[in-house]
Structure 1
Amino acid sequence: MWSSAAAGLGLGLGLIVAIGAQNAHVLRYGLRRERVGLVVAICACSDLLLIVVGTAGVGTVIAASRTLTVVMTVAGACVLLTYGALAARRAVRGSDVLVVDADARPAPRASAVGGVVATTLALTWLNPHVYLDTVVLLGSLAAGHGDARWWFAAGAGLGSVLWFTALGYGAALLRPVFARPGAWRVLDGVIALVMVGIAGGLVLDLAAC
């Protein structure tokens, strides 16, 4: 029981602790201390739901459908390319509204909640990697634990909650670095490269299948 939970926790963290669309998005809002709780909650709850779905056996169905795989991959690549293009534009042009005061206690900017929710959901639910990691891979490995598969899923879910919470709220420790406009441009440049790289990898993997 506990060994299955520990295995799920370790694998969940291993899959999610990497630079990707979700993590870059959470980091960005964490650095700005803007809607952090909302972004973290959406990402964590989405992961939990997908892990449950995968553990229930849906992962096998998705993996077996070529049409569904193609649609998910193309849609996900388009979303990532769009997000990457926006990040690249910010990296080139810069933006004074992103500058933070490392010493002052900042007040969150009044970004529209609907926009934050829509972007976070899109980067989560339209990213094929999320399904491959949570639904297909974690779901398949959970099945190998038999009656303890839900303990495995619980461990993986705990890993997601811990990671997104730490990333979102721990980003404040990097605020002194991002008190300079140039640091934001570098971050956006890295985000753009990551998004384009992931999208390109998705397309190449699909073409190779």
Structure 2
Amino acid sequence: MIARNMHLFPLAGMAIGLIAGGIGLGLSEAGADPLVVALLVVAVIAVITGIHHTDGLADFADGMMAGGDKERKISAMRDSSVGSAGVTAVVLYIVGMVVALSLAGGTELLKAVLFAEVAAKLSMVLMAWRGRTAAPGSGSPFVSAMKGGRRAAFAVIISAIPLVILGGWAGLAVLSTGVISSVILVSLSSRSFGGITGDVMGAANELTRLASVLVFVSI
């Protein structure tokens, strides 16, 4: 059911972004310290999303850094224990998110969170559309459901509308970040694992979110 409606993921991103960004906006307007606000926003996002995408980032990093052939890399990615690469990736991601979000305040913080969530969800949709399954697993139904360009095009349209209307060139830059991130990660994953997995899509969500916030606060 969820896989068949994957093209609607950007709408879920909008909801998450509005909730987390709205909390950040309220705290920012109340005069809370920017670093504290950023940390709480990251915590809210983690609670809402269940942290399973962050776990995917850790597994993806372990797989990418593992030596050997594709099968060994996939095995490392599926290992239930988290390696040093995974721990490092998660720490850098959280620190990066907190620092980047602390550079925005008020309505700009709301936009940063909202736009990043939409772009993050769009990147997963585009990965499932363009990628192929590396191995049977949780990501396989999503890849199968997204074959054909109509659903992917719909996801791009519903992502572009709020980003361009509310953000102008900044929103367009964040949208482009989501597209570019998906292309890069599909290429990396195809070379390393022979395709994409659920962990790869989870990692794409986190990495695209961070990249989008960094792009937004840099403009």
* TM-score by shorter chain over 0.5: no
- Higher RCO by CA contacts (8 Å cutoff, separation 6 or greater): 1
TM interval, short-chain normalised? 0.3 to 0.5
Larger radius of gyration: 1
- TM-score normalised according to structure 1 size: 0.37
